[in-house]
Amino acid sequence: MKNKKLQGNVRDAAFSILWAVENKQAYSNLLLHQTIESYAISNKNKGLLTEITYGTLQHQMTLDYYLEPYLKGKVEPWVKTLLRMSLYQIVYLDRVPAHAVVHEAVEIAKRRGHGGIAKFVNGVLRSVQRNGVRSFNTISDPYEKISIETSHPVWMIKRWAEQFGLEKTREMALENNKIPSQTVRVNRMQATPEEVIEMLESEGLEAVQSKWVPECLIVTNGQPAKTATFEKGFITIQDESSMLSAYALQAGPGMEVLDMCAAPGGKTTHIAEKMENKGHLFAMDLHKHKIKLIEETAKRLGHTVIETEVGDGKKSVERFGPEKFDRILVDAPCSGLGVIKRKPDIKYTKKEEDFDRLQEIQLELLGQAAQLLKPDGIMVYSTCTVDSVENRGTAERFLKEHPEMEKIEVALPKELGLKNTGFVQIFPQDYGSDGFFLSAFRKQASIK
């Protein structure tokens, strides 16, 4: 396949990202930023590029179902990627004229292939336009129907249905295909939410305060990370659900605190704010380049209480010694199935056999944290997934293996209105945020 890059061409740029995801297992969120720069995409077209890229990935299996009747014989993989991308625009984007989409698809086919492929692409897209897309009602199996309708693998739909029921599974899968909210956390050490809203408005952005987490703002236009408000440390980018970890931890001024799997630092810096930048907060992560991200964010926000360290959480007792910390956050490596809205390619790369391996890592980290925690200390286990095995299953196994630990109620903002007994599962459809799990434990003073 020939590759002639056209500066400023949104659809050529979107195709480049989608083909790299398909062909090289690249990450769409990382490629998007690189492609915007390399193609010199204008500010007014960045939104369209993002929408075409993520939308095509989100609806990939549905698009293949629509295309299947029109694809006879072998079709080159890159051509199928081009057809998916083009059909997504025709079916899902009302404001994009279909004739313009077809024209651009034909031009890309010519540049990257030859005239025969261009003719084939034109024929398929015009046939779909003429005949429409087929219904899901012909699919009799309920799991397969939701799978195709929402573009989630059948194994994932079945797994969720067993855990949560079919109705909740369908709601979650549909929510995963929506455009995620753009949220920022106000640095309460520097300003109030009201003051920051005014700052952003003065820079041409619109923001409203969340109904659920007081320091969370929902930004409805523009790029907050490109503002002076961001550069001066008044805000940082963070999803609303992940802001709950700092509440659950109940860290205060003067405490010894450990964030065991800290990168990229959103939760770490939030904890520092809850500590009023007083005490000692260790931020540990395996990777040096990720530690650098934490350091940069802490510096920008003005937090001096954070000490970063490259290290393996599974060896943290060896590093710190037992009963060192008042509070420990274990935001463990997980399947990430709560952030599909932001990383749609996760749906197609995860395998069911990953879960047992992940649970063993999670339990190992929690075991280390239990030893590191002082008597009467509190630790929080959180993940950005919705899977019951990784979440409640891991927490219950941990409690069974560590009688010195007791489950306690998870401290959360009162605005959420959640009553809980130590396990909190937030689904993407609950608040329009990421799927997230939280559990909290206290080390009993009388048991060692």
182-237: CATH topology is: Alpha-Beta Plaits (3.30.70)
| Confidence band for 375, pLDDT divided at 50, 70 and 90 | very high
In degrees to the nearest 10, what's the CA dihedral of 14, 175, 98, 119?
60
CA distance 408 to 259: 19
261 in a labelled binding site: yes
The pLDDT mean for the chain works out to 94
265 in a labelled binding site: yes
Q: Say what the pLDDT of residue 3 is.
A: 58
Average pLDDT over residues 6-17: 88
pLDDT at position 104 over 90: yes
| Confidence band for 1, pLDDT divided at 50, 70 and 90 | low
Q: pTM for this one?
A: 0.93
The domain spans of the chain are 10-131, 142-175, 182-237, 241-443
Decide the pairing of beta strands 373-383 and 325-331.
parallel
266 in a labelled binding site: yes
267 in a labelled binding site: yes
**8 A C-beta contact, residue 373 and residue 443:** yes
Residue 415 is classified by DSSP as G
pLDDT in tens, 54-71: 999 999 999 999 999 999
| Confidence band for 155, pLDDT divided at 50, 70 and 90 | very high
CB neighbours of 45 closer than 8 A, spacing ≥ 6? 8, 10
What tokens does 410 get? 């998870």
Q: Kindly tell me the sign of the dihedral angle through the C-alpha atoms of 248, 252, 256, 261.
A: positive
Span 241-443: which CATH code?
Answer: 3.40.50.150
With CA atoms as reference, report the closest residue to 22 among 70, 60, 71, 74: 60
**8 A C-beta contact, residue 60 and residue 28:** no
**Per mean pLDDT, which range of 156-165, 229-238, 346-355 is the poorest?**
346-355
Q: Say what the pLDDT of residue 302 is.
A: 97
What percent of the chain is modeled with pLDDT above 70? 98
What tokens does 95 get? 């404001």
Active site residues: 384
Average pLDDT over residues 264-285: 97
φ, ψ of residue 175 to 5 degrees: the values are -60, -35
Q: What stretch of H or E contains 39?
A: none
CA distance 215 to 284: 25
Residue of higher predicted confidence among 119 and 72: 119
pLDDT at position 418 over 90: no
CA distance 37 to 39: 6
| Confidence band for 2, pLDDT divided at 50, 70 and 90 | low
Sheet-wide strand order for 235-237: 207-209, 216-219, 182-186, 235-237
pLDDT at position 94 over 90: no
Q: Say what the pLDDT of residue 445 is.
A: 83
Per DSSP, what are the bridge partners of residue 424? Answer: 438
Per DSSP, what are the bridge partners of residue 307? Answer: 282
115 in a labelled binding site: no
Q: Say what the pLDDT of residue 447 is.
A: 56
pLDDT at position 7 over 80: no
Other CB atoms within a 10 A radius of the CB of residue 135 amount to: 7
| Confidence band for 4, pLDDT divided at 50, 70 and 90 | low
With CA atoms as reference, report the closest residue to 309 among 265, 270, 279: 265
Intrachain domains 10-131 and 241-443 with the same fold? no
Average pLDDT over residues 397-416: 95
Average pLDDT over residues 192-212: 97
285 in a labelled binding site: yes
Reading phi first (left if > 0) and then psi (alpha if -120 to 50, else beta), residue 280 is in beta
pLDDT in tens, 292-350: 999 999 999 999 999 999 999 999 999 999 999 999 999 999 999 999 999 999 999 99
Q: What stretch of H or E contains 47?
A: helix 43-58
pLDDT at position 235 over 70: yes
Helices (H) and strands (E) in the chain, counts: 20, 12
- R_g (Cα) of the chain, nearest Å: 24
**8 A C-beta contact, residue 221 and residue 181:** no
pLDDT at position 265 over 60: yes
Matching CATH number, 10-131, of 1.20.120.1200, 1.10.940.10, 3.40.190.10, 1.50.10.10: 1.10.940.10
